[in-house]
């Protein structure tokens, strides 16, 4: 009996160690105070985005929840205000699947908000469909919408320097690819719609996030605006929400035991937004609150520059702005 109890105790101890050291990941320990500063977090009505917004609100920031679902975002803003004790948490409508909506958001924000100190490009989707302009949804939302949004807000970021742009990518960028002829012909990162193709498109959109951050850093050198991309970890809610109901039921026990919750998943985003002394690392990629190496494609400056030029053309950025 004693031996069995010892074995059980050892297993429980091992699980606790693995969970908190390996799976739970590091936590942002920055002591930065954000009173008087303004932050935008896209896709912040749920999951990592909501946890990120809460963390920033607790630091005293004015937090703009930039989301497409008014009802859910206003409920999230209420929750965050209540939990943080910070009344400066507000919703502004932004649908990244519409470049018109991105422009309207930027116009409304610039008219109503005098500051922008941190922009967090958090929103992300994986699945079938097209944006309002006909782009594949993963490319259009995860990369192109954020590309346009960031560019439209750059002047305000520069006025409030030192400021930061943080883009949530993913480790899956390692499996991504950017096929420019395919983008020109199909307005998408993949040639067909299927479960596998949707996954490939998501991976490639995350590579676009990494490349965008790299080129943005090159263009902003010396301006006082720095930028970072990151892998937030494998998050329970994000992994399971796109699965069928029976797969969710199978995955739930494993996910609850071993995968990160949204609070833990927000820590690297908060680290990149708040940690002191990161300025020399602008353009780099982080995971588990630490600098990490990206895959070879993510370090390709020529690829990053070409993606930027193609994205400018797709968004009419050079013509209209």
Give the residue numbers marked as catalytic.
202
91/109 Cα distance (integer angstroms): 11
Residue 166 Ramachandran class (φ > 0 left, ψ -120 to 50 alpha, else beta)? beta
The bridge status of strand 163-168 relative to strand 118-121 is: parallel
50/242 Cα distance (integer angstroms): 19
Asked if the bond preceding 162 is cis, omega within 30° of 0, the reply is yes
Q: Are 43 and 49 in contact (CB under 8 A)?
A: yes
264/72 Cα distance (integer angstroms): 22
**Torsion 189-192-197-202 (CA) sign:** positive
DSSP 24: S
Spatial neighbors of 26 by CB under 8 A, at least 6 apart, are 267, 268, 271, 288, 289, 290
Neighbours of 277 (CB within 10 A): 6
Both structure tokens of 65: 């929840």
DSSP 174: G
């Amino acid at each position: 009996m004693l031996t069995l109890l010892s074995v059980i105790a050892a297993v429980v101890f091992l699980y606790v160690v693995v969970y908190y050291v390996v799976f739970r990941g590091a936590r942002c320990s920055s002591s930065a105070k954000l009173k008087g500063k303004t932050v935008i977090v896209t896709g912040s009505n749920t999951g990592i985005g909501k946890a990120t917004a809460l963390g920033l609100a607790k630091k005293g920031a004015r937090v703009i929840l930039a989301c497409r679902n008014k009802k859910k975002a206003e409920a999230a803003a209420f929750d965050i205000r209540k939990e943080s004790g910070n009344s400066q948490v507000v919703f502004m409508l932004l649908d990244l699947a519409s470049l018109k909506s991105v422009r309207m958001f930027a116009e409304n924000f610039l008219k109503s908000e005098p500051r922008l100190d941190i922009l967090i490009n958090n929103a992300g989707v994986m699945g079938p469909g097209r944006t309002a302009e006909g782009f594949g949804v993963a490319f259009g939302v995860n990369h192109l919408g954020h590309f346009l949004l960031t560019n439209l807000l750059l002047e305000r970021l520069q006025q409030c320097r030192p400021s930061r742009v943080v883009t949530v990518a993913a480790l899956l960028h390692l499996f991504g690819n950017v096929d420019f002829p395919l983008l020109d012909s199909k307005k998408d990162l993949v040639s067909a719609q299927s479960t596998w193709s949707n996954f490939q498109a998501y991976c490639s959109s995350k590579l676009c996030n990494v490349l965008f951050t790299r080129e943005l850093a090159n263009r902003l050198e010396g301006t006082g605006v720095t930028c970072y991309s990151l892998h937030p970890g494998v998050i329970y809610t994000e992994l399971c929400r796109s699965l069928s109901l029976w797969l969710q039921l199978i995955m739930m026990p494993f996910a609850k035991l071993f995968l990160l919750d949204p609070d833990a998943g927000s820590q690297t985003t908060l680290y990149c937004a708040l940690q002191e002394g990161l300025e020399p690392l602008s353009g780099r990629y982080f995971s588990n609150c630490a600098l990490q190496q990206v895959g070879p494609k993510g370090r390709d400056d020529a690829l990053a520059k070409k993606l930027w030029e193609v994205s400018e053309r797709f968004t009419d950025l050079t013509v209209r702005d």
